[in-house]
Structure 1
Amino acid sequence: MVTGEAIGCFGLTEPDFGSNPAGMRTRARRDGEDWVLNGTKMWITNSPVADVAVVWANTGESSRDIRGFVVPLDTPGISCPVIHRKLSLRASVTGEIVLDDVRLPDSAMLPEAAGLSGPLSCLNEARFGIVFGAVGAARECLETTLAYVEDREIFGKPLAGYQITQTKLADMTLELGKAMLLALQLGRLKDAGTIRPEQVSLGKLNNVREALAIARECRTLLGANGITLEYPVLRHANNLESVLTYEGTSEVHQLMIGQALTGHAAYR
């Protein structure tokens, strides 16, 4: 996987358990020296084309018993149906992982990842990447729009010369700049080894929210041209709709920040 010779995927989310992975129904039971896995994972990036998956399964009765397994996807009992008809992230191959009495050796279990700390630490890394990726999408939307409004003439002068256009551009530039500074500060904290999960949640929540708002506002300035693939803004807006939800919904991140502020967990 490190050298690019194999494709991997990450099997945590289930059809009925996204924000609450502790409730997963995928089970791993001992059978002699082996483990036997049953269950279904959903919305798994790359599963239909991957060579191997890290699948999380409950080996007991509580979330403390959740363990990770390295699963070659050509193992008997596995299928990975493709999820079709997506309106967002269409360039990404997304599918399921269906496990039907999948037998694995004891060595397939990740030895040091017990409970949800393993998968959640992985998600925190992904969320950190989103903090920056969302800013990149917003920046391309704004740069594209700035060029467009200079060239587009309406009522005898460039669209860029109107007050409403300029107020929109000013507000978007302001929010983009704040998002970039937030990402930069979080990067510095990460380099220093002092970043906390709730700080990553703050960055993911703000930057995706603002990037989506920028993409939508840019679309208004491009008019009908904004809905075509000649320009990237609605493609970014469609993709950011998914980013708003994946790696933790906006509501989950609000609750993570709220818990850090108050000391009370409001998930239940």
Structure 2
Amino acid sequence: MDHNVKALVLAAGKGTRLQTEGIDLPKVMRQADGHPLLYYVLRGLSFLPPEDIILVVGWKKEKVLSAFPQYPHAVQETLNGTGGAVQYAAPLLEGFDGHLIVCCGDAPMMRQQTFQSLVDTHLSQGNACTMLSARLDEGGSYGRVLREPDGSFRCIVEARDCTPEQAAVTEVNTGTYVFHVPALLRVLDLLNNNNAQGELYLTDVPALLKTQGLRVGLCDTCAPDEMLGVNTVEQLRQVELLLRAQG
């Protein structure tokens, strides 16, 4: 893989709904089939050298950093959303005229070939941003990806904000992106927290880039199982069963 590509892994969250068992660990350090969730994400990104993979850490950060000391990191001092996480990492990206994979540290099923397919699509189309989407039987609680009549990206609408027509859309956002770094850095400060969660959403960045006349693309090669994140004990068990089945 071209060294003009880096990755940013969002690994700052507490995982409040996973704390019910009394295990005092950041979400990405919860174990599944013998390894932390973050281990599997980093394995999927192993086509990049460790020095090109930045971890955004936060709650109990020392647990993450002691387990994965070979990776550079940024500290999300305030857990103010996915957009906030990228803002905290921005100083490590200044002057880098390449491309950045942004993904979640609690989604252990993502395959290396899916990451690489996303990067290949991004580079071949010359996009400022390329989003990885998946097509589900039902969109559920995921943000919907809306397209223009010509098939190009229009916007993401969070599930809670969807009209009935939008809720029927089954193409969803996986939370994985590739950005051209200079374009990303130009719009990060335009994010605002005028939403129900009071957070800065990375999902707002593609539409901001589009309003600046930049190209935003989609790559819909993600299988439904790959996008599974872990927010609850039940989801942790589900992911563990899938990992064991993979061998």
Q: TM-score, normalised by structure 2?
A: 0.29
Higher relative contact order (CA 8 A, sep 6+): 2
* Greater fraction helix: 1
